């Protein structure tokens, strides 16, 4: 399988409903909850790509473009953006969909960097 095929194959998409227990006093999704969901999708994407033990080492520039209201559906999409020697970068986007209307819009996006580690928690080569 080529690198491009592996990147496409590892693309991860998860849908969630935004319920009131995940929102703040403005009735929008907590930023920390959005980041938690993004890191989870990024982890799954990195693991699906490499099939190795992967750990988050950084998150880069998470941009909140639109608030995510309670009562909406969100789709989180993770895609490998760059593959290095021991690390890879995953871009995650969150799209908002109204439950009872067509259309969607980008709300949040950011990048997460992961490192492949061995059983001793030492960095190892990412399998390409």
CATH number at 75 reads 3.10.129.10
**What are the tokens at 120?**
């001793």
Counting the structural domains of the chain, the total is: 1
Phi, psi of 74 (to 5 degrees): -120, 145
The answer to whether position 122 is within a domain reads: no
Give a yes or no: residue 128 inside a domain.
Answer: no
What pLDDT shows up at residue 56?
98
Report the distance separating Cα 6 and Cα 2, nearest Å.
6
* Chain segment 49-61, per-residue pLDDT in tens: 999 999 999 999 9
Tens of pLDDT, residue by residue over 67-120, are 999 999 999 999 999 999 999 999 999 999 999 999 999 999 999 999 999 999
Within a domain: 25: yes
- In this structure, are residues 30 and 37 in contact, taking their beta carbons and an 8 Å threshold? no
Whether 53 maps to a domain, the answer reads yes
Q: What pLDDT, on a 0 to 100 scale, did the predictor assign at position 128? A: 78
Global confidence as pTM: 0.95
Residue 127 located in a structural domain: no
- Distance set, CA 70 to CA 45, 73, 99 (Å): 26, 9, 10
Within-domain flag for 124: no
SS3 119: coil
pLDDT band, very low/low/confident/very high, at 4 (cuts 50, 70, 90): very high
98 lies in some domain: yes
Full DSSP string of 26-80: TSBB-HHHHHHHHHHHHHHHHHHHH-S-EEEEEEEEEEE-S--BTTEEEEEEEEE
Mean per-residue pLDDT for 21-46? 97
* Range of the structural domain that residue 98 is part of: 3-116
Q: Is residue 126 part of a domain?
A: no
Name the token pair of 79. 């895609």
């Amino acid at each position: 399988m080529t690198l491009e095929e592996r990147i496409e194959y590892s693309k991860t998409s998860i849908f969630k409903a935004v319920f009131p227990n995940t929102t703040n006093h403005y009735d929008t999704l907590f930023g920390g909850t959005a980041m938690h969901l993004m890191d989870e999708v990024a982890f799954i994407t990195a693991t699906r790509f490499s099939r190795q033990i992967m750990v988050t080492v950084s998150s880069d520039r998470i941009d909140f473009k639109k608030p995510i209201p309670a009562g909406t559906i969100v789709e989180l999409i993770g895609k490998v953006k760059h593959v290095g020697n021991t690390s890879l970068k995953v871009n995650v986007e969150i799209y908002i969909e109204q439950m009872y209307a067509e259309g969607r819009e980008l709300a949040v996006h950011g990048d997460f960097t992961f490192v492949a580690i061995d059983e001793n928690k030492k960095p190892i080569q990412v399998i390409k």
